[in-house]
Amino acid sequence: MKANIVLLPGDGIGPEVTQAAKAALGAIAKRFGHEFAISEALMGGAAIDATGEPLPAKTLAACQEADAVFLGAVGGPKWDKSEKRPEQGLLAIRKALGLYANLRPAVTHPALYDASPIKADRLEGVDIMVVRELTGGIYFGEKEEGTDAAWDRCAYSGEEVDRVLHQAARLAKKRGGKVTMVDKANVLATSRLWRRRTEALFAEHYPELELEFLLVDAAAMHLLSRPASFDVLVTENLFGDILTDEAAMLVGSLGMLPSASLGNSGPGLFEPCHGSAPDIAGQDKANPFAALLSSAMLLELGLGLTEEAQILKEAVYDCLTQGQCTGDLGGKLGTKAATQAVLARII
């Protein structure tokens, strides 16, 4: 097949892990006879430096025309005090492409039990799909930033809630048949809206699914004490951001968590959950596996190439089983060598 893929390397370790994704997509294309036209565009801090904007119009246009978009990571101390922030570009592209559902799978693997701070017996069989609402909530509400006071508005419409709930329910039907909805309904009005919509929508459309409600503070605890009991976890934008970094530590490292951001139509955006990791940037230390697993999600969910995605995933997991991984997982390889180890299993 022919596909037009746009890469947004971004900042810090972003370009390092994007190189890994590019090489893996190239290797898959070669093995299966696909023609991937892979191009790169400016995004985040790199784009601010070059153009003054975190998401230049040219970049957005290229993404809108693409079949799928891959993003490394954006942000870093260099831009933390600048008027325009790299992160604004990421929020803007998610909004512009209508990517309201962010799928973040956290799947443990026996080879990584030692890398997790959680006891091994809790990690057996953990396979959680977090569905994070991505284009609403407090991230996108009006805000005011004064010297002595500031506020951020958190708002959701019923329609915004329903569409991401449908996405979570459809996934649960194909998986373990359970959905956990996480909110703060004891305090927040938006959370009470989420809860009412969930009750009504599941009663009407998905009565066969098991439905659990958790308050976000307790959910943070249950994720560690009984992670294997979760199947699909659906929640609002901010809670989903926080809980997925926590879930990454069940797997063993933030460098292991991939993601897919999807809308109703148009290209999806595929990106590791981690950030630009300024503390290890430029040192060949970044774990490329979250980026490679995000590329597998791009193949499967972005291009419909299921077998190709499976081959890439298996290559990553085989490396893990053989101990061929980066330092965050207790391995000895650098970013480039870990990527090569995966590529050697694809070609």
Q: Considering the complex, what minimum distance in angstroms separates the CB of residue 242 from ligand IPM?
A: 9
The answer to whether residue 245 is catalytic is yes
Q: Confirm or reject binding of residue 53 to Mn ion (CB under 5 A).
A: no
The answer to whether residue 217 is catalytic is yes
Q: Confirm or reject binding of residue 90 to ligand IPM (CB under 6 A).
A: yes
Q: Which listed residue (54, 136, 252, 255) binds ligand NAD by CB under 6 A?
A: 255
Q: Which listed residue (10, 15, 45, 75) binds ligand IPM by CB under 6 A?
A: 75
Q: Find tokens 């097949």 and name the residue.
A: 1
Q: Any binding-site annotation on 68?
A: no
Q: Which listed residue (67, 328, 333, 345) binds ligand NAD by CB under 6 A?
A: 328
Q: Any binding-site annotation on 127?
A: no
Q: Considering the complex, what minimum distance in angstroms separates the CB of residue 257 from ligand NAD?
A: 9
Window 259 to 288, contacts with ligand IPM (CB under 6 A)? 273, 275
The answer to whether residue 95 is catalytic is no
For ligand NAD, which is the closer residue by CB, 235 or 276? 276
Distance CA 30, CA 182 (A): 42
Q: Which of 155, 104, 158 is nearest to 131 (CA)?
A: 104
Annotate 29-82 with three-state secondary structure. Answer: HHHHCCEEEEEECCCCHHHHHHHCCCCCHHHHHHHHHCCEEEEEECCCHHHCCC
Distance CA 20, CA 15 (A): 9
Q: Confirm or reject binding of residue 236 to Mn ion (CB under 5 A).
A: no
Distance CA 250, CA 242 (A): 14
Q: Which listed residue (11, 16, 183, 241) binds ligand IPM by CB under 6 A?
A: 241
The answer to whether residue 139 is catalytic is yes
Q: Which of 241, 313, 317, 328 is labelled catalytic? A: 241
Q: Any binding-site annotation on 49?
A: no
Q: Which listed residue (53, 241, 271, 300) binds Mn ion by CB under 5 A?
A: 241
For ligand NAD, which is the closer residue by CB, 90 or 118? 90
Q: For the chain, give the number of residues.
A: 347
In contact, 131 and 167? CB cutoff 8 Å: yes
In contact, 270 and 70? CB cutoff 8 Å: yes
Tell me the site size for Mn ion, rule CB under 5 A. Answer: 1
- State the number of CA atoms in the 13 A half-sphere of 57 facing the CB: 0
- State the number of CA atoms in the 13 A half-sphere of 171 facing the CB: 25
In the three-class reduction of DSSP (H, G, I as helix; E, B as strand; rest coil), residue 254 is classed as: helix
Distance from CA of residue 191 to its chain's centroid?
23
Q: How many CB atoms lie within 10 A of CB 88?
A: 16
Q: Which listed residue (5, 20, 161, 254) binds ligand NAD by CB under 6 A?
A: 254
Which among 67-75, 102-110, 143-151, 156-164 is the span making contact with ligand NAD, rule CB under 6 A? 67-75
In the three-class reduction of DSSP (H, G, I as helix; E, B as strand; rest coil), residue 138 is classed as: helix
Q: Considering the complex, what minimum distance in angstroms separates the CB of residue 275 from ligand NAD?
A: 2
Q: Any binding-site annotation on 57?
A: no
Q: Any binding-site annotation on 245?
A: yes
Instruction: For residue 131, give the amino acid letter.
Output: V
Task: List interacting residues with ligand IPM (CB under 6 A).
Answer: 75, 87, 90-91, 241, 273, 275
Q: Which residues form the interface with Mn ion (CB under 5 A)?
A: 241
- Binding-site members for NAD(+) are 275-287
Q: Which residues are catalytic?
A: 139, 184, 217, 241, 245
